[in-house]
Amino acid sequence: MNAVTGCTLIALLLLAPSLTHAQDTSPPDGTRIASAQVSGLELSRLSPGLREDIGKLAGTPLDRQWLKALAARLEDEQPRYVAAVRVTADPDGGARVVFVVARVGDAEYHANINARYIVEDVEIRGVPDHAITPEMRADVQALTGKTLDSELAERLEARLQSGFTDYHVERRTVRGSVPGRIRVVFQLTRTEESRWLRFEPLEANALYHSDQGWGAKMPLTISGRNFQIVPHFAVDVGDDLIEEYSGFGLRVESRKIGTERLGVFFEWSSFDQTWRDPTLAAIPANPRVPAPYRNRMTVTPLAKFAVSPRLTVAGGVSIAELDSLDESSSDSRMANAAIAAVRFNQRWRPASRARHDFDAVFTVRAGTRALESDLEYERYLGQADYSVGWATHRLSVSSMFGGLTGDAPLFERFSLGDSRTLRGWDKYRIAPAGGDRMFHTSVEYRHRALVLFLDSGSVWDAGRDARVRFSSGFGFAPGPVFFTVGFPLNTSEFRAVFTVGLRLSTASVGIQKN
């Protein structure tokens, strides 16, 4: 509905006193309705039931309570519209019913008390002056020096939004320099997805797994536009690795080093490990698995470069010192690895309003003597997520695969059977010491807070049988709180695994290593 139409409809609403007055002489209840129509809104935007009820009005006796109820239903279905009922006499003695519908914004234009003040200045913040188009400048000129024209301000806001698609536009009206004058400020803030480089995600969570117990991760982000510092803490986290760890770390990241294409990442962390009995029992059986450790201190400097806003490459090293499990010993081993990663992400927001997101990352880590590592290994991991969302529905498909060669430390080994993978299985039963081969896929359907999923995957050691496991289940996830029940499928044992917790700022893809 264009502005002129909106104003016309509002004028109709404002004329309501005369309509109310007219109702004194208008057809009384019981008069046969000759016609009923909706003005100001396309009928196709109403539900079939409401359309049918309005359509059936013609020929029935006039009942104003029923008409008011229909108007209320119309407002329920279209919360950004208000509806009034107009009843007039038909020349044939019947009654004509019109539902006069107006968009709320149109009503706002006439109801904002600040519309009586003179706009002394209009300011557009957050974009360079040369990026402002002549049309935008014309709107700024038209707004300035007159009483506040909310419709025009709305139009400029829409123009800015369509002109700067990578920005979020916020309009504020503030006092001017003298009483009776105001200033209109459009603040443009660049959206995160338009950045060349993104900050590395770090999930905050607190969760309970019925087989694995409680654990929590808490990052405390102090963030600027291009720089962030994240102290983070972990308590009994056993969800993502075969080890259970507690400790703390500090992450410092800049995504603009001279140019938005270049960023640096640095992380230091120190985690104490707790090993489950099945893990300790399984390690001696596999001579290729290095000994467990008591503490893992890691330093990870990385450089990131954006080839395009969608494609990023990163490289650096991870220096990890693993203290001996024997507390009386001061022995430690180094697991120092070179890291290379490439990430691609794409979002589509077509006019059909379906939302498509694709995110993929491939990482290689190589522990090498060249970095004075005691453990030599290579590890690769590929992960990809695709999701499509429409209205309140969302369908996600995730997959990942990985492999290890050499003597990879336990924190590099793969595991499945936690709150994200093979939900319904317990990782300490599948592969208590992890595996050096892994693949996993997950299909998840979400409608509002309801989640249904089907997981499949396998984790195994090279040269041994790879048993593919399946699990399925459902969950409830209103906001950051989630509750899932998973059932292992291809097993004779019937069991259910519950996971409940709180999850904020989820990792974009798959398992995240710390």
Partner 1 sequence: MVRRPRPGTIVALTLFAWAAVDLGAQAVTVSRIADAVSVRAPAFTFIKGEPLDRLKDGRAVRVDLDLSVLPGPGARAAARSRQAFVLSYDLWEERFAVTLVGPPPRSVAYLTSTGAEAWCLEQVTVPVAALGRLGRDTPFWIRLEYRILDGDPPPGGDDDTGLTLRALIDALSARRQPPVWTQAIEAGPFRLRP
Residues within the interface to partner 1 (CB under 8 A) = 13-14, 16-17, 19-20, 72, 75, 79-80, 82, 84, 104-105, 107-108, 110-114, 117, 150, 168, 170-175, 179-180, 182, 184, 189, 191-194, 198-202, 204, 218-221, 223, 228, 230, 478-480, 504-505
Q: Among residues 217 and 469, whose Cβ is nearest to partner 1?
A: 217
**Tokens encoding 1:** 């509905």
**Least distance (Å) from partner 1 to the CB of residue 115?**
8
Q: How far is the CB of 10 from partner 1 (least distance, A)?
A: 9
Burial of 413 from C-beta contacts in 10 A (0-12 / 13-18 / 19+) = buried
To partner 1, the closest distance from the beta carbon of 307 in angstroms equals: 19
- Minimal distance, residue 318 CB to partner 1, in Å: 20
- For residues 81 and 20, the answer to whether their CB atoms sit within 8 Å is no
Q: How far is the CB of 220 from partner 1 (least distance, A)?
A: 6
| Residue of 171, 165, 170 lying closest to 194 (CA atoms) | 165
Tell me which residue of 187, 145, 150 sits closest to 169, measured CA to CA.
Answer: 187
Q: Do residues 157 and 170 make contact, with C-beta atoms less than 8 angstroms apart?
A: no
Backbone angles phi, psi at 448, to 5 degrees: 50, -120
In this complex, which beta carbon is closest to partner 1, that of residue 291 or of residue 481?
481
Q: Which is nearer to partner 1, 279 or 508 (CB)?
A: 508
Smaller CB distance to partner 1: residue 17 or 287? Answer: 17
Is residue 458 within 8 A of residue 466, CB to CB? The reply is yes
What is the rounded distance in angstroms from the CA atom of residue 146 to the CA atom of residue 121? 10
For partner 1, the closer of residues 423 and 503 by Cβ is 503
Contact between 82 and 115 (Cβ < 8 Å)? no
Chain-centroid distance, C-alpha 75: 29
CB atoms within 10 A of CB 447: 12
* Phi and psi based region of residue 377 (left: phi greater than 0; alpha: psi -120 to 50; beta: remaining): beta
Residue closer to partner 1 (CB basis): 227 or 470: 227
Nearer to partner 1, 150 or 383 (CB): 150
Q: How far apart are CA 233 and CA 216, in angstroms?
A: 8
CA distance 74 to 293: 66
Q: How far is residue 473's CA from residue 206's CA, in Å, rounded to a whole number?
A: 21
CA pair distance 475, 104, nearest whole angstrom? 37
Q: Which of 369, 305, 310 is nearest to 337 (CA)?
A: 369
CB of 223 to partner 1, least distance (A): 6
Q: Which is nearer to partner 1, 171 or 333 (CB)?
A: 171
Residue 469, both tokens: 């496991």
Q: Which is nearer to partner 1, 35 or 189 (CB)?
A: 189
Q: How is 336-366 classified by DSSP, letter by letter? A: EEEEEEEEEEEEE--TT--EEEEEEEEEEEE
Q: Residue 150 or residue 373: which is nearer to partner 1 going by CB?
A: 150
What gap in Å lies between CA 316 and CA 339, rounded to an integer? 5
Shortest Cβ distance from residue 47 to partner 1 (Å)? 18
Q: Which two tokens stand for residue 139?
A: 């709107």
* Pair 274, 237: CB distance under 8 Å: no
Least distance to partner 1 from the beta carbon of 82, Å? 5
**CB of residue 316 vs partner 1: minimum separation in angstroms?**
19
Q: What amino acid occupies position 116?
A: R
To the nearest whole angstrom, how small is the minimum distance from the Cβ of residue 491 to partner 1?
35
Residue 49 CB, shortest distance to partner 1, in Å, is 18
* Closer to partner 1 by Cβ: residue 135 or 170: 170
